[in-house]
Structure 1
Amino acid sequence: MTTKSGNLQDSIQQAGDAHTMLWESQSPPIVSTPVTPEFTNWRDEQQAWRRTSVLFDQSHHMADLNIKGPDALKLIRNTAVNSVENWQVNQAKQYVAVNEEGQLIGDNILFRNEEDEFQAVGVPPTINWLQYHAATGGYDVEIWRDNPSYGRVGNPKVYRYEVQGPGAMDVIRDAIGEEVPNVKFFHGTRFTIAGKTVRALRHGMAGEPGFEFVGPWEDRDAVIGAIMEAGEKHGMVRVGGRAYLTNSLESGWLPRPLPAFYSGASTADFRAWLPSDDIDSGVSLGGSLHSKDLEDYYFSPYDVGYGKIVKFDHDFIGRAALEAQVDSGRAQANKKVTLVWNGDDVEKAFGSMFHPGVGAKYINQPIAHYATYHYDRIESGEGNLIGRSCHTGYSANERSMLSVSVVAAEYAEPGTEVEVIWGEPTPSSKPAVEDHKQVRIRATVQPAPLVTKARTEYRSNTHVTA
């Protein structure tokens, strides 16, 4: 897959090392999707997914990789920590991959559309990882790929919409013209909307029920028109790109851990395969955590709450390393949490821009990132590094700045007080980083997901069988 522009390893060598390449990258932060930023305003759009129902446009910010052939399931089995037993057609899984050292590459949603056909949907790292192994592993598969809109010219191959919220089923019932059938969580069915066949996945984000709809792009206008018409009388709100990315703050999903393929011997062939003009070759790294050792940015799947997904019923890349983590107790060392930032401290940091002198780093709203991969130090009251804050933004539902974070297990008890270091410790050439000073912001540890319903109720919603 190398091109005339070289490969990822060439880019690393030209920069001097991987950390420098990422830290000095000129790529902008991903703080919105190529969808309309706001249809009304992002505060009302956030609140609508708890009050009525919302329509998410997921057609533009994710990559699609379609895998078809006799070895499609074998490819997935060999690269996924997941079990692939009893995987039904029209069922989806949260595919999770690691490298040989048991460090997280990332996750995506993997649909089984037919017995021998699967479609992976997500941000590029695991899409590239699957495509690499399909291309180099001798698998009998055919693939097609569609990049996110920011990495492609023209329209997507498929549309992807989601309706969710307390009133979602009312909207969907009217759109399909009949009662919504019982469908298990993360299982699928097919609906007819506006005369078009639509794949539908029983889904839910931030604890509210819903379905995700997928079909060919040429059917988009008819399908979206019918959904909008059905939603109008039920108070459905269309969510723009700015609010969309904050949904995961409440649902507790960590969308962008740094994929563990920028260093290490086991991923050297992957770096030589990935073109230097690929999306993953041009991303940026920022935040108050600054370390030349990229392993300080990597996670185990156990760190981010994927332990329940790991199944040792098959051989897969990284299995031995994960088994060793379990045996040694490393799998219990860290825990994913939500940090609720202290309002007074946030107000003081934000307000510093209205006073003379160098102030705190500007806090973007509603997503606060200023790099593709954002890592802030979490410290104890004694100033010790105890965790990493990786996904930060404002929730109008919680009236708070929140961050999805990973902390040492002994600090994971809800109510524990910690401090987040906001701002970079050293100058960089990143365009989004102005002259500023670091500040300490108090935060309180809470569960991830933060929303109780997301942790306990929505998989057994009355419209589904758990």
Structure 2
Amino acid sequence: MDIAAVQRRTYEAVLRLKDAPFVAQRPAYFSPAVGAQDESNTLGGYGHFAQTLLPLEYTNWVEECAAHVASCYIGDWSSLHKVVVRGRRALDFLSWLGMRDLSRFELGQIKHHVQLDEKGRVASEGVLCRLGEEEFLYTAGSGDWLIWQLSQGSWDAEVEDVSPERFIFGIQGPAALDTLEKLTGENLRDVAFGRSRMSGVGGVAVRVLRTGISGELGYELHGPAEHAGAIWSAAVDSGRPLGIRQLGLRSQPVQHIEAGIATNGLDYLPASLLTPGAPRQFRRGTPGGSFVPENGVTDYFRKPGELGWGFRKGVPEREFLGRDALAADAAQGGPSRTLVGLRWNTADVAGILSAPLGEGELPDPMEVPRSRGPVFDQVLVEDRCVGVSSGRTVSVNLRSTISLCVVDRAHAEPGTQVAVLWGRPGTAQREVRATVAALPFKPDRRRTDVSPS
């Protein structure tokens, strides 16, 4: 069976029939590694990551959530949109589309590519890797904004959606490098943070990228879909003596909050939603939580400075989409809100979790370790809304309930006491005490020195 061809046919059918009834008219779409993963998916549960169905957990979420600190994990990010941009003016286009400077973009280098709309709001963001002089790979929750923007100009460049033909596996944690070196059979200590190079697994060419979505020493493996299952199994075998765990969908987003990284579609909604470049991959439905938008969906959009992605030395002069809006904001003193962390009061959280065992009205339930979809809650100071919390999660590594929060700068100092209003309007809402915390929640180990001593 040609796995890549099957993935391509199913992928195109899912996108074409995205609003059709599931299974009856719209096929189920799995990772190309599903066969290997199913051997360990003894619970048989699956959930959607974009359009892809992934195992919810392999052992249990507590064990899997701790793996990137205790040992390492292998997780499947093949659901990400994978878009190749190539051509004589591909770099010019990408430099205009993203707010980061690409003038010194080296071969094999990785950049966080934040793409804005004309009003300076985040429309898409992901990882951009330079594959060749005129070839780049963009991986993100959605690349539809990039594809649409390229179609609107006269750039001498072309785009190709290679999502079904390639897998992406994350291997993150202190044992990640040893696992990968055993898997590939070669020394990978030359791969610096934010860099990548080609390697091989059992004669199959793969790209090794050093990334840090977990806040720990971490890597990604990119390779051809037809070999995804064999490489997944080989990676698990290589890491087994080191304590590797397979990471289920239920635990995947937890590490982002610990590392202080806002996730598109969970901690904010992309401004591309209102355009023909809207993401086809995102789930349907509306966000949960106590936050009530006054201006419609745009209240869920964010400026880069509100997510910790602003410029340290002011808005540069070079041209990029959304620059004028950012410059106008800067002239007014910059965004009035900033990204912080919140540590939720344990007793208050425990009261909500145990409410079904007591008497009185029941509040909205708290999913553990975190909600699968976007949830936005009001953050209060003296009964006045001063911010919006998102990504509430139970962190077994911190032994705490934590979340991200976009908050007025006047209340952003670590140690500030606030309250989170838990529950949708019309439910038995409860206030949860919380304390503002600096981000990231735990030490940043992404740039761990792995050079030979």
TM-score (norm 1): 0.81
| Cα-to-partner distance string for 1:350-384 (whole Å, 9 max, x where unaligned) | 22222344311011111125xx432111111x111
Q: Distance in 1 between matches of 2:131 and 2:51?
A: 29
AA partner of residue 97 (structure 1):
Q
Residue from 145, 169, 173 that aligns with 2:161? 145
Confirm or deny: 8 A CA contact 1:414 1:446 kept in the other structure.
yes
Superposed displacement of residue 313, structure 1: 4.6
CA distance in 2 between partners of 1:443 and 1:274 (Å):
35
Partner residue of 1:18? none
Match of 1:109 in 2: 127
Tell me, what secondary structure is at the counterpart of 2:227? helix
Q: Structure 1 residues 347 and 377, CA, compared in 2 at 3 Å: closer, same or farther? A: same
SS in 2 for 1:458: coil
Q: Which residue is equivalent to 2:449?
A: 461
Distance 1:31 1:209 in 2: 26
Instruction: Provide the identity percentage.
Output: 28
Q: 1:387 to 1:31 in 2, by over 3 A?
A: farther
Q: State the shift of 1:349 in Å.
A: 1.4
What is aligned with 1:223?
Answer: 231
Structure 2 partner of 1:162? 170
Q: Name the amino acid aligned to 1:446.
A: A
Match of 1:180 in 2: 188
One-letter amino acid matched to 1:323: A
Opposite residue 448 of structure 1, the aligned amino acid is L
Counterpart for residue 14 of structure 1: none
* Residue in structure 2 matched with residue 388 of structure 1 by the alignment: 388
Question: Does 2:151 match 1:135?
Answer: yes
Over 3 Å counting, the alpha-carbon distance change for 1:41 and 1:357 in structure 2 is same
Residue range with higher mean Cα deviation, 355-364 or 244-253: 355-364
Letter in 2 for 1:317: L
Q: Secondary structure at the match of 2:257?
A: helix
Taking a change above 3 Å as real, the CA distance of residues 229 and 281 of structure 1, as seen in their structure-2 partners, is closer
Q: Is the 8 A contact 2:218 2:446 kept in 1?
A: no
Gaps of 5+ in 2: 1-14, 20-46
Alignment of 1:221-370 (within 5 A): 221-256=229-264, 257-262=268-273, 270-271=275-276, 278-279=280-281, 282-294=284-296, 295-308=298-311, 312-331=316-335, 333-369=336-372
* Distance change in 2, residues 1:282/1:90 (3 Å): same
Check whether the contact 1:31–1:367 (CA below 8 A) recurs between aligned residues: no
CA distance in 1, matches of 2:209, 2:62: 27
Contact 1:175 1:226 in 2 (8 A): yes
- Counterpart secondary structure, 2:434: strand
Q: Distance in 1 between matches of 2:150 and 2:302?
A: 24
Q: Over aligned residue pairs, what C-alpha RMSD do you find? A: 2.7
Q: 1:342 and 1:31 mapped to 2: Cα distance?
A: 32
Change (3 A) 1:4 1:246: closer
Change (3 A) 1:129 1:46: same
* SS of structure 2 residue aligned to 1:286: coil
C-alpha spacing 1:464/1:186, structure 2 compared with 1 (3 Å)? farther
Report if aligned partners of 1:338, 1:445 keep a CA contact under 8 Å in 2: yes
C-alpha contact 1:46 1:247 (8 A) present in aligned 2: yes
Deviation at 1:30, TM superposition (A): 6.5
Give me the whole-angstrom Cα distance separating, in 1, the residues matched to 2:366 and 2:329: 37
Name the CA shift for 1:206/1:308 in 2 (closer, same or farther; >3 Å). farther
- 3-state SS of the aligned residue for 1:95? strand
Q: Provide the rounded CA distance (Å) in 2 between the counterparts of 1:324 and 1:390.
A: 27
Residue 320 (structure 1) shift? 1.0
For the Cα contact (< 8 Å) 1:81–1:311, is it kept in 2?
no
CA distance in 2, matches of 1:412, 1:192: 46
Corresponding residue pairs, total? 407
Corresponding residue of 1:190: 198
Deviant stretches of 4+, over 6 Å: 28-33
Residues of 2 paired with 1:4 and 1:182: CA distance?
43
Displacement, 1:86? 0.8
Report the Cα distance in structure 1 between the residues aligned to 2:51 and 2:420, rounded to whole angstroms: 24
Contact 1:337 1:405 in 2 (8 A): yes
Aligned to 1:203: 211
CA distance in 2, matches of 1:4, 1:231: 39
In the alignment, structure 1 residue 118 sits paired with structure 2 residue 136: yes
**Residue aligning to 1:98:** 116
Q: Deviations over 1:318-344 (max 9, x none)?
A: 11111122222124x222111111111
Identify the residue that residue 101 of structure 2 maps to in structure 1: 83
Q: 2:75 aligns with which of 56, 66, 72?
A: 56
Deviation at 1:311, TM superposition (A): 5.7
Determine if contact 2:288/2:374 at 8 Å carries over to the other structure.
Answer: yes
| Secondary structure, aligned partner of 2:324 | helix
Cα distance, 1:416 vs structure 2: 1.2
Q: Which amino acid aligns with 1:459?
A: R
Higher relative CO (CA 8 A, sep ≥ 6), structure 1 or 2? 1
Cα deviation for residue 178 of structure 1 reads: 2.7
CA distance in 2, matches of 1:342, 1:65: 42
Residues 96 and 319 of structure 1: CA distance in aligned 2, closer, same or farther (over 3 Å):
same
CA offset at residue 240 of structure 1?
Answer: 1.1
Structure 1 stretch 415-424 or stretch 295-304: which is displaced more?
295-304
Q: Structure 1 312/250 Cα, relative in aligned 2: closer, same or farther at 3 Å?
A: same
Shift in Å at residue 229 of structure 1? 2.0
Closer, same or farther in 2 for the Cα pair 1:84/1:253, shift >3 Å?
Answer: same
* Alignment correspondent of 2:430: 439
d(CA) in 2 for partners of 1:464 and 1:115? 31
Residue in structure 1 matched with residue 179 of structure 2 by the alignment: 171
Gaps of 5+ in 1: 8-27, 148-155, 264-269, 427-435
Q: Which amino acid aligns with 1:449?
A: P
CA contact (8 A) 1:160 1:215 kept: yes
1:73 aligns to what?
A: 91
Name 1:422's counterpart in structure 2.
422
Letter in 2 for 1:93: K
Q: Which amino acid aligns with 1:260?
A: A
Kindly state the Cα deviation for residue 286 of structure 1 after the two structures are TM-superposed. Answer: 2.6
* 1:342 and 1:441 in contact (8 A); partners too: yes
